[in-house]
Amino acid sequence: MNIKILAIVISLSALIFVIDLIRREKLMFKYAFSWIIVSILAVFFSIFDKILFKIAYLLGFQLPSNFIFFSLLSVFVFLSLLITIFLCQQNNRNDIMAQKISLLELEIKKIKEKENK
Amino acid sequence: MKEAFSLKLSSDVLVIDDGSVDKTAKMAEDAGANVVSLPFNLGIGAAVQTGFKYARNHEFDLVVRIDGDGQHDISYLEKIIDFLLKEELDIAIGSRFVGSLSNYRFSFVRRIGINFFSSLISLLTDYKVTDPTSGFRAYNKRMIKIFAEYYPHDFPEPEEILVADRYMAKIKETAVKMNKRVSGTSSIRYLKTLYYMIKVTFAILLDKFKRKGDDL
């Protein structure tokens, strides 16, 4: 029974933490949404652990804990792939911006030189 | 100094300074070239692309790309431009292996690498390119527009050919001489070359999966 309370406390604090981060504008909703879903699921399953055991049994896992580890791992692999996609997008935008700024700098310099002549 | 673009006829020399800390940018500026100074190191692909964007914005008819390390012999500039215009090419590549000009000495590892990429490219595309790592190239207006918009990031010289293949560009090589680059050899360099080869092979193979492009 103790472990159930621990699980509920941890998953609930994760959910509250995510909500608080959004509230303080540290996380944008767009990127925090997946975390909200994950922590709501965690709270739900730590309260109704019987459902978790049933799903684990139906899917053919020998132990419910195996099911938990497997699903957590899958979620994190997926999340880190999403983060890499986001990183590449930012990197791309950064490059385009640097190119644009330096090209504009050159054009401004040229205009100034023309004026001074 | 990372890359130098230059044009004869009504020419315009553009030097791309990819966040270098030495005085090459200042030197190029004093020599009368237009210098684009990138705020930080973007890497070779994005640096070269900056040149194509400049050429596109100014509606240049052609671009010749020259490496900044003095490896490319400027006296072949006109030859490569003439070749591009006469053969009506999209890309003219200055090759060290065409014709009898070649007195360029390669290390054994480098030669294997270049031959390997040459065969890989002829396997994946219809092009026969003897010197796929050469950066001494001329481009027409069509390629300027395409590369200003989309340019390979990581290994631009060999990957450019794969991009060109997607746009069904016309590519041919002409003989050029290149000066020897000053470089030392150590055991780590061989491992690095091997690592580079594996990376480029993956990049080229992945390029093959990308969509065919529409003209811009």
Quickly list DSSP for B63-128.
EEEEETTS-B-GGGHHHHHHHHHHTT-SEEEEESSSTT-------HHHHHHHHHHHHHHHHHSS--
Residue A116 lies in a domain: yes
CA atoms within 13 A on the CB side of B161: 31
- With an 8 Å Cβ cutoff, are A98 and B38 in contact? yes
Q: pLDDT digits over B188-216, tens only?
A: 567 777 888 888 888 888 888 887 777 76
3-state secondary structure of B34: strand
| Mean pLDDT along residues B31-40 | 87
> In a 3-state reduction of DSSP, which class is residue B8?
coil
**Pair A37, A80 in one domain:** no
Are A14 and A43 members of one domain? Answer: yes
DSSP symbol at B171: E
| Fold (topology level) of B3-207 | Spore Coat Polysaccharide Biosynthesis Protein SpsA; Chain A (3.90.550)
Contact A105 B37 (CB under 8 A): yes
pLDDT score, position B7 = 43
**Looking at the structure, do residues A77 and A31 belong to the same domain, yes or no?**
no
Q: Does residue A77 form part of some domain?
A: yes
Per-residue model confidence (pLDDT) at position B182: 53
Answer yes or no: is pLDDT of B104 > 80: no
Reading the block at residue B117, the tokens are 């990429």
- If you measure CA to CA, which chain B residue comes closest to A91? B42
A81 touches chain B (CB under 8 A): no
In this structure, is residue A52 part of a structural domain? no
Greatest alpha-carbon pair distance for chain A in Å reads: 85
Give the nearest partner residue to A101 out of B39, B54, B57, using CB atoms. Answer: B39
Q: Give the list of residues 6+ apart from residue B42 with CB closer than 8 angstroms, or none.
A: A95, A98, A99, B18, B19, B50
Residues A29 and A69 in one domain: no
The answer on pLDDT for B106 being more than 90 is no
d(CA A113, CA A15): 59
SS3 content of chain A, % helix, strand, coil (to 5): 90, 0, 10
For residues A37 and A3, membership in a common domain is answered with yes
CA angle B101, B104, B105 (to 5 degrees): 145
Nearest CB among A98, A106, A110 relative to B39 is that of A98
Lookup: tokens for A40: 């709501």
Looking at the structure, tell me whether residues A42 and A84 fall in a common domain. no
Query: Where is B173: in which H helix or E strand?
Result: strand B171-175
Same domain for A98 and A74: yes
| Sequence-ordered list of residues with C-beta below 8 angstroms from that of B180, at least 6 positions apart, any chain | B71, B104, B105
pLDDT at B184 > cutoff 50 = no
Reading the block at residue B151, the tokens are: 């340019």
Interchain CB distance below 8 Å, B36 and A110:
no
User: Could you say which residues of chain A have pLDDT below 70?
Assistant: 1
> Is the per-residue pLDDT at B41 higher than 60?
yes
Residues A73 and A115 reside in one and the same domain: yes
CB B130 within 8 A of CB B117: no
**Do A66 and A39 share a structural domain?**
no
Q: Is the pLDDT of residue B98 over 90?
A: no
With respect to residue A79, please indicate whether it lies within any of the assigned structural domains.
Answer: yes
Please tell me the distance from the alpha carbon of residue B171 to that of residue B80, in angstroms, as a whole number.
Answer: 12
For an interface test with A, which of B12, B20, B50 has the most A Cβ atoms less than 10 Å from its Cβ?
A: B50
For residues A86 and A8, what is the distance between their CA atoms, to the nearest angstrom? Answer: 31
- Whether residues A115 and A67 fall in one domain: yes
Instruction: Report the chain B residue with the minimal C-alpha distance to residue A88.
Output: B153
Minimum Cα–Cα distance from B38: chain A residue? A102
ipTM associated with this complex: 0.80
pLDDT above 80 (res B2): no
Q: Say whether B37 sits in a helix, a strand or coil.
A: strand
Query: Regarding beta strands B137-140 and B62-67, do their DSSP bridges make them parallel or antiparallel, or are they unpaired?
Result: antiparallel
Cβ within 8 Å, pair B34-A106: yes
* Domain count across chain A: 2
Per-residue pLDDT tens digits for B161-179: 999 999 999 999 998 887 7
Give the pLDDT score at B102. 54
> Distance (Å, rounded) from C-alpha B97 to C-alpha B83?
16
Domain that holds residue A5: 1-47
Asked if residues B193 and B148 have their Cβ atoms less than 8 Å apart, the reply is no
Contacts of B194 (CB under 8 A, 6+ apart): B109
Length of chain A: 117
* Furthest-apart CA atoms within chain B: distance in Å: 47
